[in-house]
Amino acid sequence: MLRIIGGEWRSRKVPFAAIVGLRPTPDRVRETLFNWLQFDIAGARCLDLFSGSGALGLEALSRGAASVTFIDQAPEVVRQLKENLSTLKCSDAQVIQASVINWLEQQPDDLTDQFDIVFMDPPFRKGLVNPCCALLEQKQLLSENALIYVENEREAGAAQAASHWLPHRQKQAGQVNYQLYRRQPDADA
């Protein structure tokens, strides 16, 4: 069971698919992240890549995000996320079953509705963070001052982000390295 920490659904528990390697973002990491995002989450359009349990996207919705697009390739994950959203009576979310890399590659280069906050918590030791970072920029999926949260294994270090993704916050918890970047397109100017 996954416990939502704050917002409208505070303390609600929802199940998540029991899949090998699926590790919901721990409560204390989520609490830290959403403290970092507290002034940015209300009304934000969010993208939850490698959704898994949906912990980050559900927490964002609970705290006032305008919408969340969940992307995960596992059918069990997608089914459970849809059931959880239905249980929570949430209509501000879209759940897409797809490989994250494939989904990113297939997005049009001129998307009119860009994302304000991106959550990226891929399976560890698969080398997925850096290609995703590059595709988010290449496909112009980010709003001008978007926030990008990246969670990865400690030994991988920081993501190879675009030069105008400025490190905003970073911490470690156990074997998890997590960082928040703020996109500032004029930082190179």
Place of tokens 């920490």: 5
SS3 state at 102: helix
pLDDT reported for residue 157: 64
Please, are residues 80 and 70 in contact by the beta-carbon 8 Å criterion?
no
Residue 121 has a CB neighbour count (10 Å cut-off) of 24
Round to whole Å and give the CA distance between 111 and 92: 19
Determine the average pLDDT of the residues in 122-150: 91
Distance of alpha carbon 103 from the chain centroid: 15
pLDDT one-digit tens code per residue, 53-109:
999 999 999 999 999 999 999 999 999 999 999 999 999 999 999 999 999 999 987
pLDDT one-digit tens code per residue, 40-59:
999 999 999 999 999 999 99
- For the chain, the average pLDDT equals 90
Q: For 9-13, 21-25, 33-37, which range has the lowest pLDDT when averaged over its residues?
A: 21-25
Query: pTM of the full predicted structure?
Result: 0.92
Beta strands in the chain (DSSP E): 2-3, 13-14, 45-49, 67-72, 93-97, 115-120, 142-153, 165-173, 176-183
SS3 state at 163: coil
What would the CATH number be for the domain defined by 2-188?
3.40.50.150
Return the CA Rg of the chain: 15
